[in-house]
């Protein structure tokens, strides 16, 4: 994670320098916009990391193992896919929670099903999809994409089970 932070910091410095060299004040506007975005996102990040930490401490590892761990098999993959479909929020919410679950012993198949379901079939997109695309599109999307997280989980478990 330190390497990613260094790369992003260098990228920010390069962009600030380029904006400064242009002389149009874009670098100041960019910094202000970034800070406003950070102020907007920080509370969500804070709560997400709290939830991830609480899951690690409050949910016994035996429960994670039984429901979505290595021994849960296809049942765990299906449960994780449903959880991914239902969980609200974007990557700022989901990634800390998934990281906590991985540390608690979620299987790679369940982790992949959860992650894929969230970002491929997530429930939170339904209101905007309905208003723009209609129910027919939503039904087709859900029917087709609901299969993919389960297949992803099964394939991940088959080929990469035991690596994590």
- Quick one: pLDDT at residue 1? 61
- Quick one: pLDDT at residue 71? 86
Residue 81 has pLDDT above 80, yes or no: yes
- Quick one: pLDDT at residue 113? 97
Rg (the chain; Cα; Å): 20
The CA distance from 31 to 90, in Å, is 23
- The upper half-sphere exposure of residue 43, i.e. CA atoms within 13 Å in the direction of its Cβ, equals 3
Residue 164 has pLDDT above 80, yes or no: no
Backbone angles phi, psi at 89, to 5 degrees: 95, 170
- Quick one: pLDDT at residue 17? 92
Element containing residue 34 per DSSP (H, E): helix 26-58
Structure tokens at 4: 């990613």
Q: 16-68, pLDDT tens digit by residue?
A: 999 898 888 888 998 999 999 889 888 888 888 888 888 888 888 888 888 89
* pTM, entire model: 0.76
């Amino acid at each position: 994670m330190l390497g990613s932070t260094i790369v992003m910091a260098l990228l920010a410095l390069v962009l600030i320098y380029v904006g400064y060299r242009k002389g149009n004040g874009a670098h100041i506007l960019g910094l202000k916009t970034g800070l406003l975005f950070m102020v907007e996102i920080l509370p969500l990040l804070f709560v997400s990391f709290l939830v991830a930490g609480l899951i690690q401490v409050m949910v016994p590892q035996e429960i994670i193992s039984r429901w979505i761990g290595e021994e849960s098999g296809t049942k765990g993959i299906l449960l994780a896919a449903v959880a991914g479909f239902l969980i609200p929020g974007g990557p700022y919410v989901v990634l800390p929670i998934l990281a906590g679950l991985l540390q608690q012993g979620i299987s790679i198949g369940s982790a992949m099903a959860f992650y894929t379901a969230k970002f491929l079939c997530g429930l939170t997109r339904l209101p905007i999809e309905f208003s723009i695309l209609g129910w027919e599109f939503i039904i087709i999307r859900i029917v087709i994409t609901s299969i993919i997280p389960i297949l992803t989980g099964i394939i991940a478990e088959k080929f990469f089970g035991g690596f994590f």
